[in-house]
Amino acid sequence: VSYMLGIAELYMPIFEQEIDRMGLPQELKYLPVIESALNPTAVSRMGAKGLWQFIISTSRAYGLVSNNYVEERYDPIKSTRAALEYLKDLYEMFGNWELALASYNCGPGNVNKAIKRAGGVKDFWSIYPYLPNETRGYVPAFIAANYIMNYYCDHNICPVNTTLPMGTDTIQVCRNVRMERISALCNIEEEELRRLNPQYRTNLIPGHIRPCTLRMPTAAINAFIEAGDSIYV
């Protein structure tokens, strides 16, 4: 929890901005706490990936790209937008946030089966006995995550300092550029650059295929812009 509180300073502003943009409940920003412990490169035993733990079929349905160059399930911004779109669709399907969250975990098909077995009642606690075991604990875990991320001081828990910079911004790259080149010209360690941009599978950022987002400290972005064409492959 201490680590998540520390790393939350980097990720929560991303979640909050997208949640505000879509007009959704701010409590949803704590869902990645139980999905991935705020680890952008988390991988489940079933192959779900990223902060929001997308399986490949759902990620593709919501526009995320997975290929030899990029894994957008690891992209904090794009995966957040896709996850919130999915949650919004689930809410519109069930009209209930607890059922939407349960569906996020086990799929809408399993929730619909549980509703039928419960006599058609659309209430999480009514269908609770008919849900998969993992999903029964999922909504309570989400409630617990909301509690602990807000009331950690009451339990003598303190955020730890992390090595990731908090003052970051993004820039769009429309041409190929290599991370080692960015590192050399923008005064940023390559390891830090990779941690801020976990979606790229190799050192090549393939801007020639489609515009790519690059996250860096503000000073590095200014240096990137000043370097002009000399920074590109």
Could you list the active site residues? 35
Q: How far apart are CA 53 and CA 46, in angstroms?
A: 10
The size of the chain, in residues, is: 233
Which H or E run includes 219? helix 218-227
Q: How far apart are CA 64 and CA 180, in angstroms?
A: 26
Q: State the DSSP string of 106-161.
A: H-HHHHHHHHHHTTS---HHHHGGGS-HHHHHHHHHHHHHHHHHHSGGGGT--PPP
Alpha carbon of residue 200 to chain centroid: 15
> How many other C-beta atoms can be found within 10 angstroms of the C-beta atom of residue 86?
19
**What amino acid is encoded at 119 in this protein?**
G
